[in-house]
Amino acid sequence: MKEIHIDCRNLDSPRQLHDILSRELSFPAWYRPNLDALHDCLTSICEDTYLYVSNFSALPPTFRGFYLVLQDAEDENPHFYVTFQ
């Protein structure tokens, strides 16, 4: 089981969140910072993974796609869980 905590309080760009998720979730080398690749990687996780995201609601609307992809991946992958705090 893997637990990851991400605080979005100081994020300035969607690229930063892509970089953090890629690093923390050990995405493969082919990962590129876009929502389709994020979805592919999240739905491919095979180990129970709990992602806790704090201060997401303070982010500007440009981050809305992340919310949708994270929720969708949780619905599709029985090993991936996300909680927005």
Tokens, residue 60: 């500007």
* Phi–psi pair at 13, nearest 5 degrees: -150, 155
Tokens, residue 79: 């090993």
Residues 58-81: tens digit of each pLDDT: 999 999 999 999 999 999 999 999
Confidence band of 39 (pLDDT split at 50, 70, 90): very high
Q: According to the model, what pLDDT value does residue 52 have?
A: 98
Give the total number of structural domains in the chain.
Answer: 1
The CATH code of the domain that includes 50 is 3.30.370.10
Q: According to the model, what pLDDT value does residue 14 have?
A: 96
Q: According to the model, what pLDDT value does residue 83 have?
A: 98
* Gap between the Cα atoms of 67 and 71, Å rounded: 6
* Gap between the Cα atoms of 11 and 44, Å rounded: 26
pTM, full prediction: 0.94
- Domain extent for 77: 2-84
Rg (CA), the chain: 12
